[in-house]
Chain A
């Protein structure tokens, strides 16, 4: 059974720091991995999708890497800003049956302080 874990659960950094959020999964047979952002009282915003054949994806100051063999993904945020404060979630699709429901980590709550 696929399980997704995110470390750390919470992170507080001063503005301008580069930081890394970690996501691990127990079953390496994944189709893809997706990182999301959730702001308080809001839905989820898709940040990056990495296919199983890819090693990394970049969007602006965000870079996500994927190492299937070790069951890990990292989200790197460069030059963090207060506007980056949110909860970051990673998820992988279930590979059981035809339902590609997402299996979620509990998220990393990030606070970037001015």
Chain B
């Protein structure tokens, strides 16, 4: 597609359940980022993929969070045993050189 595509756009889940969020970056973009934005807060870096290099996972808040990127394209962010503080919008972005392009986000609510 023309832009970064994320799914689901909205997810309501019960505390303790696992969730998977998907990101389909712009074709040809080698860099892929996940960010999180909680209500009223700034954007928080989670994880960075660049080509075939090992991902930078330094922003993941706990070991309940993990992400993978298959075939250098689609990425999945997994949150295990969700907690209420995980409620946020999860934004995926991709870039080829300098400009960074974002998806519409996945809005996660943990009840």
Contacts and interface: CB of A to CB of B under 8 A. Distances in A.
B53 A34 contact: no
Given A43-B91, A43-B103, A44-B91, A99 B98 contact: no
A9 B102 CA distance: 22
Interface residues of A, number: 25
B98 A46 contact: no
Contacts, number: 56
B104 A49 contact: no
A102 B42 contact: no
B interface, size bucket: 20 to 34
Nearest to A105: B42
Interface of B: 6, 31, 33, 35, 42-43, 45, 48, 50, 53, 56, 58-59, 91, 93, 95, 98-105, 107
A69 interface: no
A-B complex: 3 closest residue pairs judged by Cβ atoms: A44-B102, A43-B104, A99-B56
A55 interface: no
Contact of A43 (B56, B95, B105): B105
A36 B102 contact: yes
